[in-house]
Each structure stands twice: as C-alpha cells, then as structure tokens.
C-alpha cells in the first residue's frame, strides 16, 4: 500500500568510494610535561593566562612588567612548606656538627674558615663531600718506601755488626730495596713480596665478623653515632687489641648484637671505648684527657659511674673484671698508673671470687668455660706485664691451670683477625692465636722473673749469676721455639715486631750493668756460672743492637703516627741512653750514630705525644735534656704542634710509679719514679733563671 509520504522519500544511493583515513603515526613527539602550580598570582588570574608560580614575580608579570601579587596560601599548606624547609636546614646543620666533631683539628678549622667567609652550609657540605670522594679515588696508601730516617737516612754502622739476624729479614730488605730503587723503567723486576712486607700496617682494614652490624649506641648514653663508633672499634682492633686482649671478641660481639648481657655490658662497652678513642686519629683533642668535651673523657666518666654501680651490686661479673683492665690502661696513658692499678687489683679480687684460677671450678656451659679460661689468661698476662714494667711483685703467682690450646688445631679459641690491604685481593691472617700463645708463654717467664728479682720500683733487683743463667736459658728456649710466623725472618706486623723488641728489652734489664747485677764472686760460683756471668756484657750489647734495629725497621715500614703504648719503653730507653753516651763521646762517626738514634727516638716520642699525655711528658723531659745542637737539628725536620716542649708539664696530672732507668754501658743505673723526675724538672725550671734563658735560646735556633 502506497501513500503520499512514500512518494516524497528520496532514494538512498550507495556511498561513493573514498580514500582510506591516514594512519595514526606510531611515533608522536613527546609533549613537555606540564609543571603543576598550586597558586597563581592575581594578575594572571584576571587575564586568565597560565602562571608559572615564580616568586617574587612570575614569568608573565616580568614579561608584561605588571604587578605580581599572590593571595596568602592556606595555613596548612604554608605550615607544611615551612616544616620541610626547616627539616632540610636542620639536617644540613646536623651533618656540619658531626663533621666538626669527627674531623681533625686542622680540618675543623678549615671548615670554620669557610663559614666565616659567608659560604653557605650547603656549599660547605658539598665541597667536603666532593673532596672526600676525590681523596678516596686518589689517595691510596703508599706501597713503596714510605718513611725516611730523620737526620741520617742510613743505618748506623754498629747495627750491621755482631751477626744481626734482622738485617736479613724480608721487611728490612724490601724497605731498603724500595729506598734505593729507581722509578720503574718498564723492565721486569724481582717478584713482588707479600703486602704485609711492603705496605704500612695502618693502610690495612680489618675483617671481624659482627663489627659492622652491631649498634654500640644501645649500650652507652655517651654517643648515638653508630657509624662513628664502628670506625673507632675498627681502629682499636687494628692497633691495640693484640696487646690489650682482655675479652674474647667473638662472644663479645655476638652478645652485643643480640642485646645479651652475659659477655657484654654497658660498663665493658664504655670502658672499651674510653681506650679505643685514642686509637682513632680522626677524633680531635684526644691528648686532652682532662677536657670534658672530648669523647674519650665522657666514655671514661660513664665507665667510672657504671663501675661504682657494679661495685654496689650483689655479685661480681666477668665483664666487670674485663672493664677494670681497660680502665687501668686508660689511666696509664694519662700518666696516672698509681690510680689505674687499683682497678687491676680489684679485677684480681673478682677473679678469685669467681674461682677463675681454681682448677676444680668448672661450669657446664662450654661458651662460659671458654670465656672464663680466656679471661683468666688475659688477666694473668696483663698483671705480669705490669709487674715487670713497674718493677713490682706480681698479684698472681702462677698461671691459670687450664693450658692454652694449640692455635693450629683450635684457632676458634682465640678468634682470628683478618687483614685486607688496598689494591690487593688477598686476605692475610694476623696470626692472633699464635701471637697470643707466644706472648702468654713469655709473660709466664716474666712473672717468675718479677717474683725473684723485683721488690719495688726503687729497689735494685738482686740476681745471682746462677739465676741469671737459668732465666737466660728459659727465655732463649722460648725464643727458639717461636712458631714460624713469628720468627725473625717472617715478622712484619707491628705486634710481632714488638714481641721481639720486648724480648730484647727484658734481656737488657736483666743483664749488667742495667739491672745492677753485682760483680760475680768466684768462690760462690761454679765454672759454668762464671762463664755465664762473663757472657752478660756480650748479651747486653747484642740485645741493645737488635732492639734498636727492630725499632728502626718498625719505623721504616709503619711509622710512629698511630697509638702504640708499648713503644714508649723502647723509645725512652734508647733516647736517654744514647743521649748520655753522646755527652762523653768524641769520635765523629760515633757522635753521628748516637745523634741519629736520639733524634729518631725523640721523633717517636713527639708523634706519640700528640696522641696521649704520658708520651708527651716523656718527650718534654727528653727535649729539655737535649743540647742546643740536637735541639736545632730536631727543629729542622719536626713541626711542633700539640705537646710542644715549651709548654709547662702539668705536674698535678702525673701520678706514676714508672721507674725510669737511664744508664750507660759502664755505669750503674739509678731508678727514678716518673712523678719524682717531673717534679725535679719543675723545681729546676722554677729555681734557675739561666735554665729558662737557655731553653728560650734553643727555641730561637729553630
């Protein structure tokens, strides 16, 4: 059916063929990201144009030279912005304060100079960060000959005589070869030795489990910077732990990490850090132990407070015993050993109350028994060392009944410390177990020596030729039985060198005339005793030669710039003894040799005197005894700094019973306590105007 509406409809035709739409390009140029602006200025709002939010004037207002006004922001947003700015500023200032605390005195002054020049804190931090990165990239510890003898750079001729075994050791031969070697010309040289023979010990870093993961700040209220405290721990275990081994480090760190108080305590941690601060060179003003702003002072003050708390407790603890030994060492560094010795006396009392030396007293826990045995040997060796050093009767008459295990079969009993040197993939053992056992066996002999010959610091030891022969035989047997890693041909590390130095230093103190041995009386002696007595003179000369040789080798490779308290005995002996010989010697060659030794020893005392007070005191005493010629020569190669000899020795700080033995080969020794010696120098300084004038003249010569 059709109608009018159908007639009016237009017929639909097929769509005409058109070109296909252009394909969408796959790669579209990226659009610049639009930067969101939270607040636009009023001028841009009115003109309805985009504002970049620039302050004090946005870009559009700068372009049209129109007034740019911003509506005050909402209160919450403004507070958030201020908080973020203050937080950034606080972080920067905190970093700056931490840097001033941890840097050396000279570097801290440079930072302060930059601030005085109106350099912003952020710019100062950026300069320090970039400078440290460049230093890490460029300053690699010297692998060639590093240290040079002052005054005479060659070894004195008398040290090359009498079959000196240390002149054939690898550490000496490589030091001399590196000194005389020309720069490399591309030709193949001899095989490179082990890093321990050619690189200074302080260039190494230690590898000790747990040390990089513990948080010491949980055990002390003195410092909250765990990074700094771990660095201090690294320095202590690198430089001082081998000689001052008062606790088994593995159990100590395990309990520190686990917050257990069985083998770790706040008292032990603070006492340890009071000593360890002297080992870390980056801490300023370590020498000023009386300064309450130094970290070492605060650790010691906290340790003393905790010691009093522990003493008021119901029972004695192993950690209290160990802490007492650390506190004693710190007082020795201050020149106050009379005060520090009380802590060792109390430690011995604690040991007896815990039955450490009772062979029938055993505990079920293997770990606890291990720590008890280790602590007993540590206490015995420490008091034996002090008894010989201060010429007094030992507090413990016999060593622990538990024998020391073989380090080869039971290295875990001692706990090894591994060393890594720069640019060397090899990891070297420090042979801590062999060293601990050898040192303990030697101190067992010294304990017997002290029991036989010492009756007080001012009493001359009385040694018969028969006893001397027996002691000499025992010590020589110990020396000949040293393990291979500690023999004269293999020693290189500072602790190993000092073990040999200590051996010869003990021989020097025993043989006449240093030990004041009376002349032998033939009717009372056998032929063997008479022969052994005549050997005393030769043995004394050999011991002096080898002690000085070892000290020079030590300096050639490692220098005197790190804390090494044991060096003080040897430096003082060589300095004062050769200074006395210098007064009577007329042979020019001998004068040069003696002067070389005096100046080297003075340099060692001066560098150690920058670290701790006792060494500074001995350096000042030596400097005041030196003649103008030596003073003038000394000033040529040493830059005076902290601990200058012109400073007055604060005698109120000295409480020392250390007997200073100064003698020549043909004269009897006369012991003087250190505090008496300092008092005599003070009286001479106050009572003699001529003396003051003389020292002023010495200063002008420099």
Among 159-168, 469-478, 483-492, top mean pLDDT goes to 483-492
The residue-averaged pLDDT of 211-238 equals: 93
Residues 6+ apart with CB under 8 A from 274: 296, 299, 300, 303, 326, 327, 330
Q: Check whether residue 218 and residue 131 sit in a common domain.
A: no
Any domain includes 333: yes
pLDDT tens for each residue of 428-461: 999 999 999 999 999 999 999 888 887 765 555 5
Q: What angle do CA 394, 663, 686 make, to 5 degrees?
A: 95
Any domain includes 598: no
210 pLDDT band (50/70/90 cuts)? confident
pLDDT tens for each residue of 564-622: 999 999 999 999 999 988 888 888 888 889 999 999 999 999 999 999 999 999 998 89
Last residue of a domain, which of 116, 138, 160? 138
pLDDT at 250 over 70: yes
Any domain includes 276: yes
pLDDT at 202 over 70: yes
Q: Check whether residue 126 and residue 213 sit in a common domain.
A: no
In this prediction, residue 358 carries a pLDDT of 85
In this prediction, residue 398 carries a pLDDT of 94
Among 134-138, 213-217, 318-322, 595-599, top mean pLDDT goes to 318-322
Any domain includes 696: no
Q: How far apart are CA 599 and CA 637, in angstroms?
A: 10
698 pLDDT band (50/70/90 cuts)? very low
pLDDT at 137 over 50: no
Any domain includes 342: yes
Last residue of a domain, which of 138, 161, 183? 138
Which of 200-227 are b and which e, b meaning 16 or more Cβ less than 10 Å from the residue's Cβ?
bbbbbebbbeebeebebbebbebbeeee
Greater confidence (192 vs 380) lies with 380
Q: Check whether residue 129 and residue 228 sit in a common domain.
A: no
Any domain includes 572: no
How far, CA to CA in Å, does 676 sit from each of 174, 637, 657? 44, 31, 9
Q: Check whether residue 298 and residue 399 sit in a common domain.
A: yes
CB 600 within 8 A of CB 149: yes
Among 223-237, 274-288, 518-532, 683-697, top mean pLDDT goes to 223-237
Q: Check whether residue 227 and residue 98 sit in a common domain.
A: no
Three-state DSSP class for 397? coil
Q: Check whether residue 94 and residue 226 sit in a common domain.
A: no
Any domain includes 685: no
Q: Check whether residue 421 and residue 345 sit in a common domain.
A: yes
Greater confidence (669 vs 203) lies with 203
Reading the block at residue 395, the tokens are 């507090």
How many residues can be counted in the chain? 702
**pTM of the entire predicted model:** 0.74
In this prediction, residue 664 carries a pLDDT of 45
The structural domain count of the chain equals 2
39 pLDDT band (50/70/90 cuts)? confident
Q: How far apart are CA 372 and CA 263, in angstroms?
A: 10
pLDDT tens for each residue of 263-303: 999 999 999 999 999 999 888 878 888 889 999 999 999 99
In this prediction, residue 531 carries a pLDDT of 47
Last residue of a domain, which of 369, 397, 431? 431
Any domain includes 157: no
pLDDT at 140 over 70: no
Greater confidence (45 vs 17) lies with 45
Q: Check whether residue 122 and residue 255 sit in a common domain.
A: no
In this prediction, residue 320 carries a pLDDT of 97
183 pLDDT band (50/70/90 cuts)? very low
Q: Check whether residue 225 and residue 91 sit in a common domain.
A: no
pLDDT tens for each residue of 57-111: 999 999 988 899 887 766 666 677 778 778 888 888 888 887 887 777 777 888 8
25 pLDDT band (50/70/90 cuts)? low
pLDDT tens for each residue of 319-362: 999 999 999 999 999 999 999 999 999 999 999 999 999 877 78
Domain span at residue 364 reads: 203-431
227 pLDDT band (50/70/90 cuts)? very high
pLDDT tens for each residue of 533-555: 445 677 888 899 999 999 999 99
In this prediction, residue 81 carries a pLDDT of 75
Q: Check whether residue 275 and residue 387 sit in a common domain.
A: yes
Upper half-sphere CA count for residue 277 (Cβ side, 13 Å)? 27
Q: What is the mean pLDDT of the chain?
A: 81
Q: Of all helices (H) and strands (E), which one includes residue 451? A: helix 432-453
Reading the block at residue 494, the tokens are 């500072």
pLDDT tens for each residue of 626-666: 988 888 888 876 666 554 555 666 667 888 888 876 554 44
In this prediction, residue 370 carries a pLDDT of 95
CB 290 within 8 A of CB 616: no
Q: Check whether residue 294 and residue 417 sit in a common domain.
A: yes
Greater confidence (29 vs 522) lies with 29
Q: Work out the angle between the directed axes of helices 432-453 and 366-389 (0-180°, nearest 10).
A: 50
Q: Check whether residue 240 and residue 343 sit in a common domain.
A: yes
């Amino acid at each position: 059916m059709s109608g009018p509406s159908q007639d009016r409809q237009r017929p639909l035709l097929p769509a005409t063929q058109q070109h296909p739409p252009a394909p969408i390009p796959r790669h579209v140029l990226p659009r610049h990201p639009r930067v969101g602006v939270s607040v636009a200025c009023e001028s841009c709002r009115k003109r309805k144009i985009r504002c970049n939010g620039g302050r004090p004037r946005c870009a559009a207002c700068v372009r049209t030279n129109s007034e740019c006004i911003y509506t005050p922001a909402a209160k919450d947003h403004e507070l958030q912005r201020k908080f973020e700015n203050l937080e950034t500023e606080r972080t920067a200032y905190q970093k700056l304060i931490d840097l001033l605390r941890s840097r050396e005195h000279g570097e801290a002054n440079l930072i302060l100079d930059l601030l005085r020049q109106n350099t912003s804190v952020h710019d100062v931090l950026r300069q320090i960060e970039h400078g440290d990165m460049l230093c890490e990239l460029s300053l690699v510890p010297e692998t060639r000959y590093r240290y040079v003898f002052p005054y005479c750079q060659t070894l004195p001729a008398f040290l090359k005589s009498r079959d000196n075994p240390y002149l054939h050791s690898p550490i000496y031969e490589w030091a001399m070869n590196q000194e005389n070697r020309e720069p490399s010309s591309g030709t193949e040289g001899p095989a490179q030795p082990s890093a321990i023979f050619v690189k200074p010990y302080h260039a190494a870093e230690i590898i000790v489990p747990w040390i990089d993961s513990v948080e010491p700040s949980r055990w002390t209220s003195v410092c909250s910077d765990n990074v700094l405290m771990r660095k201090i721990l690294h320095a202590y275990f690198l430089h001082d732990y081998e000689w001052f081994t008062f606790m088994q480090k593995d159990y100590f760190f395990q309990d520190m990490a686990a917050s257990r108080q069985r083998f770790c305590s706040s008292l032990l941690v603070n006492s340890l850090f009071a000593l360890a601060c002297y080992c870390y060179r980056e801490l300023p003003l370590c020498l000023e132990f009386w300064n309450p702003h130094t970290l070492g002072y605060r650790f010691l003050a906290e340790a003393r407070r905790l010691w009093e708390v522990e003493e008021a407790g119901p029972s004695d603890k192993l950690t209290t015993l160990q802490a007492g030994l650390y506190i004693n060492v710190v007082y020795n560094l201050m020149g106050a050993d009379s005060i520090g010795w009380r802590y060792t006396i109390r430690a011995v009392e604690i040991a007896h109350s815990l039955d450490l030396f009772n062979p029938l007293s055993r505990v079920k826990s293997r770990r606890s028994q291990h720590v008890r045995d280790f602590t007993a040997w540590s206490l015995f060796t420490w008091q034996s060392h002090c008894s010989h050093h201060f010429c007094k009767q030992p507090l413990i008459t016999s060593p622990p009944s538990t024998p020391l295990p073989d380090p080869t079969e039971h290295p875990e009993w001692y706990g090894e410390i591994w060393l890594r040197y720069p640019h060397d993939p090899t990891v070297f053992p420090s042979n801590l177990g062999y060293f601990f056992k050898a040192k303990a066996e030697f101190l067992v002999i010294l304990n017997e020596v002290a029991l036989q010959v010492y009756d007080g610091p001012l009493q001359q030891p009385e040694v018969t030729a028969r006893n001397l022969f027996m002691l000499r035989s025992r010590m020589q047997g110990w020396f000949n039985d040293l393990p291979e890693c500690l023999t004269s041909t293999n020693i290189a590390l500072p602790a190993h060198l000092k073990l040999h130095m200590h051996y010869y230093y003990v021989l020097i103190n025993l043989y006449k005339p240093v030990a004041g041995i009376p002349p032998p009386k033939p009717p009372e002696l056998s032929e063997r005793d008479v022969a052994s007595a005549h050997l005393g003179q030769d043995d004394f000369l050999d011991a002096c030669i080898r002690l000085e040789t070892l000290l020079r080798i030590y300096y050639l490779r490692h220098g005197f710039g790190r804390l090494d308290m044991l060096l003080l005995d040897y430096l003082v002996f060589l300095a004062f003894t050769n200074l006395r010989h210098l007064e009577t010697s007329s042979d020019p060659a001998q004068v040069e040799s003696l002067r070389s030794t005096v100046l080297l020893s003075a340099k060692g005392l001066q560098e150690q005197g920058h670290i701790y007070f006792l060494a500074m005191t001995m350096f000042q005493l030596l400097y005041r005894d030196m003649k103008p010629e030596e003073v003038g020569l000394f000033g040529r190669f040493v830059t005076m700094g902290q601990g200058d000899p012109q400073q007055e020795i604060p005698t109120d700080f000295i409480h020392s019973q250390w007997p200073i033995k100064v003698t020549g080969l043909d004269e009897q020794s006369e012991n003087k306590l250190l505090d008496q010696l300092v008092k005599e120098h003070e009286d001479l300084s106050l009572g003699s105007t001529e003396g003051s004038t003389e020292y002023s003249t010495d200063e002008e010569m420099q």
